[in-house]
A and B are shown apart, each in its own frame.
Chain A
Amino acid sequence: MISFITSICAAAIVYAVSILYAAIGEIFSQRAGIMNLGIEGIMLMGAMSGFMTVYHTENLLLAFLVTILVGLLLGLAFAFLTVTLQADQTVCGMAFLIFCSGLSGFLGKSVTGIASAVKFEPIPIPGLSSIPVIGEIFFQQDIFVYLMYLVIPLSIFYIYKTKAGLMLRALGENPASLDQAGINVFAMRYGYVMFACAMTTISGACISLSYTNFWNEGMTGGKGWIAFSLVAFSRWNPAYAVLGALLFGGISILGINMQVYLPGVPSQFYGMLPYAATVVALVITTGSFRKKHSEEPAALCQKYDREDR
């Protein structure tokens, strides 16, 4: 029984991490006032470019860097459209999704359906990994998971405890006031959008370089949408995003196990569990936060135009 629980927890962490990079990135972007609905497509670009590099060079570090570079470039394009040209963020995101899923399928055509020679393997951390239960859950994972252990506290610290984080929050609440204070709103938004896209491509690389080591068109299978809904679910706070991702991952894994432990129920109903659980969790958290101030950035999705001031 204990080994069953540990294996589910370990798998839930792997799942959660693969969407958390994208979700935390998107938290930063939305905090800055820019919503990117195209996460799914950008994840695909990350998965494709990372895999492509590994396949041809067998160099994981290079693949990781290429992935980030692709993310930054996509972010630059997205920021140009939404910040400079002030294009509608919803359509822009959807158009990016469509464009990127086509582009990733096209560029990755030559390496579709074959495995690379190397992938990110789990690295047990000496000492810590031999702690019973906890070691197996937390410290026998791969580099993406360990990196996430750093990203979570750093992102929370950045948003809530630093001056830059304060400015970030102001950017999503009232960009005009920052602008008047002589801060370059546009440059800041460019930065955060590019950061978010780079994080999103890392999520994609997680899937094609660590989860498995192959590439196929559309292989992210809706994970981008889960990451996207995690952002509002978490009330733009990385800590809650972590909880949400673990909840979603844990329950979806549990659902498959239920087919074995509790047979007789059509398996599609177990498949619905994580989505239903998300709704329930959302209702509970919204209820308990009701009295508090809404965390939603007021300027989210609003076009910021200096000449409107």
Chain B
Amino acid sequence: MKIGAIRFEKKQTVSLSRKVLNPVIFILLGFVLSSVFIMANGFQPIPVFGKMITYSLLNTRGLIGSINAALPLMFCGLSVAIAFKMNLNNIGAEGQFAMGAIFGGAFALYGPALPAPLSGIVMFFLCAIGGGLWALIAAALKAYWNVNETIVTLMLNYIALLFLDYLCYGPWMAPKQTTAMTVTIPQDMYLPLIGGTSSGIFLAIIIAVLLYLFLKYTTGGYQISVIKNSLRTAEYAGIPVKKYILIVLALSGALAGVAGFVQVTGIVHRVQAQLPGGSGYTGIVIAYLSQCNPLVILLVSVLLGALQNSSAVVQIMGVPSQIVTMIQGTLMISVIAGEFFNRYRIVYYKADPESKRAEQKNNHSEQKGGAVQ
């Protein structure tokens, strides 16, 4: 591709430092682009960004808030990522989150009373099972009838959220109360706070590391990558594709269900209508931005949690809430567009006859050219 004297040439390899540096640079570029909207609205961009960052990342209380906000996002991101590792589009993390909370909530509120650590563990698994079963509907349809999982998971979102609404506005609603939430769960099931941070963060780290190891070092992880690369090869090699579809989507749903667990036991301490609050959809962005790397997902989730949390503090300065949403979009677009420069480098052609001749000879070649590097 070329524009005037500038050419873009494909790179063969990308160094790790480049992989890290590139998003940083394009986040900065995103801030520069966003400052246009901020200035158009009569504000100075630097104080606005400064406040955003100091409040939500460089300040203990803010950072804790960002991590807590990021917790459900982490699990939803992991959920979407594991499915996509096998080319399955699970956009149903939102509904699986809700179903996990419903299953876990049913136990916490109406189930038998168990001693402290055990009750938490049972609830954890029930949340995972709730989310997993909900995803399994889409998985079974995909595995046995090849029904498009993108649509099914999306439709199941609406159904799960309406069911959660039904429970919270109806039979589960706390007595003597007007808002759509249940009573609090037993206190001994609360996830402990460590210096204000929900200890769910450790759960997230453990699960992310396990997933990372699973995908990288086990036969299962390898077979998943074979299925992603070529379904035909996988079938030819005798990999049980159907079984993998069922397992991976159920696992994906279970992870989203665990988001329900950390949110209910760690933060909200009750089940409420609209509990997922869009985390499932944000999870899609997180998974793809992190290129489905479980460890990167944790980091990106915190950044997005910080972005969400900085919305309030920026509004205090008078910046409209919509501008904050636009900044979020701009940053994402900038980072994702910046990916291009990971794969390409800019080459500046001097108008010397030799390179022109080379260009005519082979229109898309990579060699030659007076690259300014």
Query: What residue of chain B has the Cβ atom nearest to residue A77's Cβ?
Result: B333
Option from B9, B156, B333 in Cβ contact (under 8 Å) with A95: B333
B residues within 8 A CB of A92?
Answer: 333, 336
B residues within 8 A CB of A228?
Answer: 154
Q: Mark B254-267, 1 if CB is under 8 A from A, else 0.
A: 00000000000000
The segment from B107-115, B118-126, B320-328 that touches chain A is: B320-328
Contact B147 A81 (CB under 8 A): no
Within 8 A of A (CB), among B36-95: 37
Contact A269 B166 (CB under 8 A): yes
Within 8 A of B (CB), among A234-266: 266
B27 in the interface (beta carbon within 8 A): no
Known contacts being A85-B337, A85-B340, A268-B162, is A90 close to B284, with CB within 8 Å?
yes
Known contacts being A91-B288, A92-B336, A268-B163, is A109 close to B320, with CB within 8 Å?
yes
Contact B322 A105 (CB under 8 A): yes
Within 8 A of A (CB), among B309-342: 320-330, 332-333, 336-337, 339-340
A residues within 8 A CB of B230?
Answer: none
Contact B148 A232 (CB under 8 A): yes
In the assembled complex, the CB of B130 is this many whole angstroms from the nearest CB of chain A, namely 17
A residues within 8 A CB of B320?
Answer: 106, 109
In the assembled complex, the CB of B163 is this many whole angstroms from the nearest CB of chain A, namely 7
Contact A233 B148 (CB under 8 A): yes
Report how many A-B pairs have Cβ atoms within 8 Å: 136
Complex CA gap A106/B315 in Å reads 13
Query: What residue of chain B has the Cβ atom nearest to residue A266's Cβ?
Result: B166
Please classify the interface of chain A as helix (H, G, I), strand (E, B), loop, or mixed, using the class held by over half of its residues: helix
Q: Mark B132-145, 1 if CB is under 8 A from A, else 0.
A: 00000000010001
Known contacts being A95-B332, A95-B333, A109-B320, is A275 close to B158, with CB within 8 Å?
yes
Complex CA gap A268/B165 in Å reads 7
Q: B interface, how many residues as a size bin?
A: 35 or more
Complex CA gap A97/B333 in Å reads 11
Option from B37, B162, B325, B333 in Cβ contact (under 8 Å) with A272: B162
A163 in the interface (beta carbon within 8 A): no
Q: Mark B164-186, 1 if CB is under 8 A from A, else 0.
A: 01100110000000000000000
Contact A290 B336 (CB under 8 A): no
Contact A106 B326 (CB under 8 A): yes
B216 in the interface (beta carbon within 8 A): no
A residues within 8 A CB of B10?
Answer: 305, 307-308
B residues within 8 A CB of A109?
Answer: 320, 322
Known contacts being A91-B288, A229-B155, A232-B151, is A98 close to B145, with CB within 8 Å?
no
Q: Mark A56-90, 1 if CB is under 8 A from B, else 0.
A: 00000000000000000000000001001111101
A103 in the interface (beta carbon within 8 A): yes
Contact A229 B333 (CB under 8 A): no
Query: What residue of chain A has the Cβ atom nearest to residue B147's Cβ?
Result: A286
Query: What residue of chain A has the Cβ atom nearest to residue B366's Cβ?
Result: A307
List, sorted by A's number, 16 A–B pairs whose CB atoms are closer than 8 Å: A81-B333, A85-B340, A88-B288, A94-B288, A95-B329, A95-B332, A95-B336, A98-B328, A100-B329, A105-B321, A106-B320, A229-B154, A269-B166, A283-B141, A287-B145, A307-B364
Among all A-B residue pairs, the 10 with the closest Cβ atoms: A99-B329, A102-B325, A95-B332, A106-B322, A102-B326, A105-B322, A268-B166, A98-B329, A275-B155, A85-B340
